[in-house]
Structure 1
């Protein structure tokens, strides 16, 4: 309580308390959470529809895993609800307080918010695969060997502590209200729920060209060598095309879902923490402080050279499947 009181005093003295109250009251659901509340019945309906269609195919559906996926998603939502206002909001409030532009909400700024959030999501998602500290949280989303709507709910309760929310801070500093950012982000996640399925094939060409689709996202979840670390987009696939991370789904090579180093446990806490354990175990190996710390920002497959090596790093088999979602 003393820490919270101190935080409130700092916010009040700096003039940010009013923004705190108007942007994200932390004793009530904010707009982002409300979107998920209203979307949940739709998620349940389409999940049941998909379940009826594929329940007899163990390669596509495992009932116990689907329930576990929803439990993982519930843990993620709980930690977001409890800690986002304490950890992330003060930083967003500070950036917005010193914003460069005064932007009013209209159709133009609303579209720019959506575009900016999707652009930031691309780089956040790409970092989630290529920076091991971020991958430690994201890996749980890829560790399932099945692709269905429940997989979209397979999230890590530690996400809020990893700092991936910092990728959107430049938008607040520019002048986009954190409420708009949160709403655009929530709508993007709602959209991405519907691309986690094998029941929808190719969509019309112009849609496949611009938007992230089930076909593109199946590639993202594949651990095939040609599919690893591809198709990071959220709502739009144009960023992958622009930054050369796009790969089309090949009908001759169906995605093999999962990660290259499968997790042997179904325990929720193990699923949430196993990559952190491996990360800190690697950091604990003998070596200089800087070389140990490199594990935090190097790619997941990076290995430190042994003390007797010439100094070149050894590459190991990539541990991620591309790729959110």
Structure 2
């Protein structure tokens, strides 16, 4: 079978990223938008550096991913799905629900959080934040997509759709867009929905994991609308407070291994540090996002 060729739309989009960040920077400095946090030079530089590192390492990780996809596709596929108009509709939904579960598990399993935390480490929310991407995740998070070549989607088609999803998510990283028409907010992931996802507020933790469609969060019970009386506080529950790209990329890996292998604890407890959610402690002293949310709700109800 002839291998279909698709353009690397992420590389083609780089000039658009630069132009739109400059436009957003101009808009956020206007008088009527002083309430928007906007840009901080060191933070934006860190985010852009993380993005460039992700693109560079992507040449290696994508080779690994394609090798795995082609191995499954050529040896184990159950069907052969042709590259045609209706298969693009199928792969759109297949990729989007896969992204949802990958993203949700990345917030619930520390092994995957170790790479995904990079994207949440900024205390600012603007288009440069969208570029703050992992340097390690590309080498192992692709396992969530392995079912797609198995059922017969061509690897090149899968990679292209993954890029489409990533490109869509770029524009929703902004405070300059408030709410869009109700029908759009009801179906699609939007800046409002994704601001919630980047919030460290207990009410907003681990919510709105959508890629392109917000319907999965509504169906699986992880949707939370942005509330006017609960302004989003961006960043982590415990911020890392560094602009060093290397620290941003690997600090959670270091912390995870320290928690797992330091001190006296059982083998089971050590393994659970890789599986349990961020904040979990083997001695019961830790608090995960559900604990923080419950405490916040009780405090609110008692006031």
TM-score norm. by structure 1 comes to 0.83
1:169 correspondence with 2:146:
yes
Q: Distance in 2 between matches of 1:70 and 1:60?
A: 15
Q: Distance in 2 between matches of 1:53 and 1:63?
A: 16
TM-score norm. by structure 2 comes to 0.89
Aligned pairs for 1:19-98 within 5 A: 22=3, 31=6, 34-55=8-29, 59-85=37-63, 87-97=64-74, 98=76
SS at match of 1:249: coil
User: Aligned-pair distance for 1:128?
Assistant: 1.0
Q: Give the number of aligned pairs.
A: 286
SS at match of 2:70: helix
**C-alpha contact (below 8 Å) 2:47/2:128 kept by paired residues:** yes
User: Aligned-pair distance for 1:318?
Assistant: 4.0
Of the three residues 241, 245, 254, the one matched with 1:268 is 245
1:232 correspondence with 2:203:
no
1:247 correspondence with 2:215:
no
1:119 correspondence with 2:90:
no
Equivalence for 1:142: 120
Q: Distance in 2 between matches of 1:83 and 1:211?
A: 29
Q: Aligned-residue CA RMSD in angstroms?
A: 2.0
User: Aligned-pair distance for 1:266?
Assistant: 1.5
Q: Which of 230-239 and 277-286 deviates more?
A: 277-286
Q: Which of 75-84 and 114-123 deviates more?
A: 75-84
Where does structure 1 lack aligned partners over 5 or more consecutive residues? 1-17, 24-29, 306-312
Deviations 1:15-36 (A, max 9, x none): xxx98xx47xxxxxx746x201
Equivalence for 1:99: 77
1:315 correspondence with 2:286:
yes
Runs (4+) of structure 1 moved beyond 3 Å? Answer: 55-58
User: Aligned-pair distance for 1:103?
Assistant: 1.2
Q: Distance in 2 between matches of 1:75 and 1:83?
A: 12
Q: Distance in 1 between matches of 2:138 and 2:149?
A: 18
SS at match of 1:59: coil
**C-alpha contact (below 8 Å) 1:55/1:62 kept by paired residues:** no
SS at match of 1:316: coil
1:200 correspondence with 2:177:
yes
